[in-house]
Amino acid sequence: MQFSLKAIECFVALFEERSVTQAAQRLKLGQPAVSMQLRRFEDSCGMDLFERDSRGFVPTPHAERLYPECLALLLQTHRIDLLLADPALCAPQGISIGVSPLLGRTVVPHEVLPLHDSHPQLKISLREGDTAQLAGWVESRKVDFAIVDVDAAPLSASTELRTLAAEPVYLVTGSPPLDGHGGGQTPLCELAAYKLALPPAADGVQRTLRTIAGHMGLSLVCGLEADSVSTLLDIAGRPGWATVLPGSVLRSQAPVPSRHASRIVEPRIVHTVGVLSRKGHVHSAAEQWFTRRMQQTLLRSLDGAHG
């Protein structure tokens, strides 16, 4: 089988956008060109990768398995492009990234160090703030871009938002939760039995949880808020207490003895993470490298979290 890089780029763009129109706009190609590349890619694979319905393009199970591998290939391609290009022309002197405290103290450090190793001449600056602060910093150019919670991020006429991934959210307790589902799943309604220690309300996790619980007429008791994940995990081990954290955050932590993590379902709660930037901002190769690394990390949380 032979695949062109352009065909893989079109597949990844269509997988993420679910629309030929939006994929074409993102790649700055005509819609017929994107459709042609997709047909060639499907022919090379010997299978259909998308189902077409009223919602747009829905990935098949084969596409779901191919996507992370294609994403990794594009990440490596960006790295090769950077190595082959003139560093003075392709690499900025510095990169400034805005992050929430929740991700900035857990997931992001694991991605920033490889970024530094790959771009040793690059000065990297991290700024922590809540979602509203991050949006303001993007607009005022205090940061080049921000990693934000999509559901909480305010948009303006001068900014745009691209989704990286929607990862599962977990209930963490000191003893196995009342679980009628098996397989490490807990219905949202069971959270009412706990006092909750949660990330701050300005972070999207608590906001999403409260919004959905409110629609269900469910009352949740938040007994404590904390930026520190270690504090949240410590409190979750105490009788009657629990915390709620995204999968990527749990994976970034060393396993804590006697903690039990189960996905929140009925309905399924997700933490949707994206990149907020100014419209027209040209993302450098280093920025693209970092955001793809973040995307891969978030996608790995779909495989489960440490408990």
Dihedral angle over CA of 14, 17, 18, 21, nearest 10: -80
- Check residue 141 and give its pLDDT: 94
pLDDT in tens, 109-138: 999 999 988 888 889 999 999 989 999 999
Considering only CA atoms, which of 270, 263, 268, 301 is closest in space to residue 186? 263
- Shared domain for 45 and 97, answered yes or no, is no
- Check residue 92 and give its pLDDT: 55
Rounded to whole angstroms, how far apart are CA atoms 72 and 23?
19
Structurally, how many domains does the chain consist of?
Answer: 3
CATH code of 30's domain: 1.10.10.10
CATH code of 225's domain: 3.40.190.290
Position 26: which residue type?
R
Q: 3-class SS at 146?
A: strand
- Shared domain for 239 and 172, answered yes or no, is yes
Both tokens of 77, joined, read 């391609």
Range of the domain at 125: 92-163+273-303
Report the helix count and the strand count for the chain, using DSSP H and E. 12, 12
- Shared domain for 69 and 107, answered yes or no, is no
Dihedral angle over CA of 246, 96, 289, 305, nearest 10: -10
Which residues, at least 6 apart from 251, have a Cβ–Cβ distance to it below 8 Å?
A: 297, 300, 301, 305, 306
- Shared domain for 192 and 245, answered yes or no, is yes
- Shared domain for 159 and 284, answered yes or no, is yes
Per-residue pLDDT of the chain (307 residues; tens, 9 = 90+): 577 889 999 999 999 889 999 999 988 899 999 999 989 898 888 888 998 887 788 899 999 999 999 998 888 888 777 766 655 444 457 899 999 989 999 999 999 999 988 888 889 999 999 989 999 999 999 999 999 999 888 889 999 999 999 999 999 999 876 544 445 899 999 999 999 999 988 778 888 898 899 999 999 989 999 989 999 999 999 999 999 999 999 999 888 778 899 999 999 999 999 999 999 888 888 899 999 999 999 988 776 554 4
- Shared domain for 138 and 259, answered yes or no, is no
3-class SS shares of the chain: helix, strand, coil, % to 5: 45, 25, 30
- Shared domain for 292 and 220, answered yes or no, is no
For residue 251, count other CB atoms closer than 10 A to its CB.
Answer: 19
Q: Are 131 and 273 in contact (CB under 8 A)?
A: no
Rounded to whole angstroms, how far apart are CA atoms 260 and 233?
10
Tell me how far the alpha carbon of residue 284 is from its chain's centroid: 20
- Shared domain for 77 and 220, answered yes or no, is no
Rounded to whole angstroms, how far apart are CA atoms 6 and 35?
12
- Check residue 236 and give its pLDDT: 94
- Shared domain for 293 and 155, answered yes or no, is yes
- Shared domain for 155 and 288, answered yes or no, is yes
Both tokens of 254, joined, read 């060393």
Q: 3-class SS at 163?
A: strand
- pTM of the entire predicted model: 0.68
Both tokens of 87, joined, read 């560093």
- Check residue 85 and give its pLDDT: 63
Residue where one domain finishes, among candidates 83, 106, 137: 83
- Check residue 84 and give its pLDDT: 66
Rounded to whole angstroms, how far apart are CA atoms 163 and 165?
6
Q: Are 162 and 171 in contact (CB under 8 A)?
A: no
Q: Are 67 and 43 in contact (CB under 8 A)?
A: no
CATH code of 131's domain: 3.40.190.10
Cis peptide before 267 (omega within 30 of 0): yes
For residue 295, count other CB atoms closer than 10 A to its CB.
Answer: 21
- Check residue 76 and give its pLDDT: 85
Rounded to whole angstroms, how far apart are CA atoms 165 and 273?
6
- Shared domain for 136 and 229, answered yes or no, is no
Q: 3-class SS at 274?
A: strand
- Shared domain for 103 and 225, answered yes or no, is no
